[in-house]
Amino acid sequence: MPDTAFDPFASAAVITMARQGRTPRPLDLPVALRPRDAAEAYAVQDAVVRERGEIVGWKVGAASPQAQPARAALTRDSVWVEQPGQEVNLSAIGFAVMGVEAELVYELGADLSARATPYSAAEVLAAMVSVRAAIEVCDTRFAAWAQQGEWSRLADQACHGALIVGSGLTDVASVQPLVQGVNLSVNGSVAVQHATWGNPAGDPLRLLVWLANEGARSLGGLRAGQWVTTGSCTGTVMVAPGTVVVADFPGVGRAEVKFD
């Protein structure tokens, strides 16, 4: 549990007011309001998310196959699901920076509520009803990109800006992430290409299981209809207004977004 001397709500208010444009963006949280560990960072993040609105998704990732995962809950105002024949256009004005990443996102078809017995990998995989291509847009509520400590960035929804969910497959078990290729294109030119999995976290199933058993507990667990995006397969590519970005996972699906 967070130290009782630490006030996550005061810290969350700084992030929220900066996001809403009610105060200037700080370079970092005030020293007394900076989370000192993951527990405090999640306490801040949870307060930010609860104020922001309904949770419709999650991001989860890890620095390596052995590293402790990290997550952020995503609210309805930052998640777009592509519809056939309709483009997703986002206003660049709403972002401080626009860092794009190609990711695989899983769709929950059943609740995975917190319970005493941990969910098995088979149970978690069985709860997923589709896997799709996605683009995460990374952003910050701070005044500069990546100039804060890791806990401040985690508190700020782990640098989440937007999620665009594209096309994919309902045969989830047929997708083999560790041998899955990916292409990230910017204005028609390939910016990043991997013949096989480029995600440093390794198998995304480990991340999904951690999220179901630990990561999502403080916000009520995972719910049917939510999306879980499982970390960057391409690194972060910074783009400018007027850019069209396409994430293509051959054999699985593609996602596209234009920044106006």
Read off the pTM: 0.96
Tell me the pLDDT band of 157, cut-offs 50, 70 and 90: very high
Given a cut of 80, whether residue 3 has pLDDT beyond it is no
Distance CA 77, CA 19 (A): 12
Given a cut of 90, whether residue 66 has pLDDT beyond it is yes
Given a cut of 60, whether residue 175 has pLDDT beyond it is yes
Q: Identify the domain containing residue 122 by its residue range.
A: 54-259
Given a cut of 70, whether residue 1 has pLDDT beyond it is no
Residue 182 lies in a domain: yes
| Amino acid 4: pLDDT | 59
| Amino acid 240: pLDDT | 97
% pLDDT > 70, the chain: 98
- CATH label of the domain that carries residue 102: 3.90.850.10
Residue 34 lies in a domain: no
Residue 188 lies in a domain: yes
Return the sign of the alpha-carbon dihedral for residues 152, 157, 162, 166.
positive
| Residues 163-181, mean pLDDT to the nearest whole number | 97
Question: 8 and 43 in contact (C-beta within 8 Å)?
Answer: yes
Strands (E), the chain: 55-61, 70-75, 79-81, 89-90, 99-108, 128-138, 160-169, 182-186, 189-194, 227-229, 237-238, 244-249, 253-259
Given a cut of 70, whether residue 2 has pLDDT beyond it is no
Distance CA 210, CA 70 (A): 9
Question: 138 and 237 in contact (C-beta within 8 Å)?
Answer: no
Residue 24 lies in a domain: no
| Amino acid 97: pLDDT | 96
Question: 192 and 183 in contact (C-beta within 8 Å)?
Answer: yes
Tell me the pLDDT band of 5, cut-offs 50, 70 and 90: confident
Residue 62 lies in a domain: yes
Residue 131 lies in a domain: yes
**SS3 state of residue 77:** helix
Given a cut of 90, whether residue 70 has pLDDT beyond it is yes
Question: What total number of domains does the chain contain?
Answer: 1
Average of per-residue pLDDT values in the chain: 96
DSSP 90-150: E-GGG-S--EEEEEEEEEESS-B---SSPPPHHHHHHTEEEEEEEEEEE--SSSSTT-S-H
pLDDT digits (tens, 9 = 90+) for 6-52: 999 999 999 999 999 999 999 999 999 999 999 999 999 999 999 99
Residue 14 lies in a domain: no
Residue 149 lies in a domain: yes
